């Protein structure tokens, strides 16, 4: 609940000092729709916080990558099939707002990184 109602400082502290992403990932396995809504709201709040507060340092990308490492975005995509309309709506909102093109963006980034590494190796030879 502190993630949903907490101050920016509290959210930052939780993200930096606890396994928050892992806890949220586990919470997406709840069967109770009210618990799922709470977890989804927490994920949304964390992503929104990162987007609004760290534009220069781009931690929103770090949060997204961290979330992707736990496959939370996949769990949220699956919740778009949930029988509860509120769970569906919030899952859709999160995917639409933050993850609509995440797989495409990562695929684009990887080839660029490979080319840079190959170019660096060629320069070393």
Residue ranges for the chain with pLDDT beneath 70: 1-2, 53-61, 101-125
- The Cα angle at residue 91 between residues 109 and 79, in degrees rounded to 5: 100
DSSP letter for 55, please: T
5 exposed, middle or buried (CB, 10 Å; 0-12, 13-18, 19+)? exposed
Query: What SS3 string covers 69-93?
Result: HCCHHHHHHHHHHCCCHHHHHHHHH
Question: Domains, the chain, ranges and CATH?
Answer: 2-124 (1.25.10.10)
pLDDT of residue 120: 45
pLDDT of residue 58: 53
pLDDT of residue 3: 76
Residue 10 neighbours by CB distance under 10 Å? 12
pTM here?
A: 0.72
For the stretch 83-118, pLDDT in tens is: 999 999 999 999 999 888 644 444 333 444 444 444
pLDDT of residue 83: 94
pLDDT of residue 30: 94
């Amino acid at each position: 609940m502190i993630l949903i109602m907490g101050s920016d400082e509290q959210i930052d502290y939780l993200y930096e000092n606890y396994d928050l992403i892992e806890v949220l990932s586990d919470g997406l396995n709840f069967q109770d729709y009210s618990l799922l809504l709470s977890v989804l709201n927490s994920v949304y709040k964390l992503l929104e916080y990162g987007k609004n507060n760290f534009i220069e340092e781009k931690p929103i990308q770090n949060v997204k990558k961290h979330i992707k490492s736990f496959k939370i975005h996949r769990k949220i995509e699956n919740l778009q099939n949930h029988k509860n309309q509120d769970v569906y709506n919030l899952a859709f909102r999160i995917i639409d707002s933050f993850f609509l093109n995440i797989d495409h963006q990562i695929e684009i980034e990887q080839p660029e990184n490979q080319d840079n590494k190959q170019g660096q190796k060629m320069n070393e030879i």
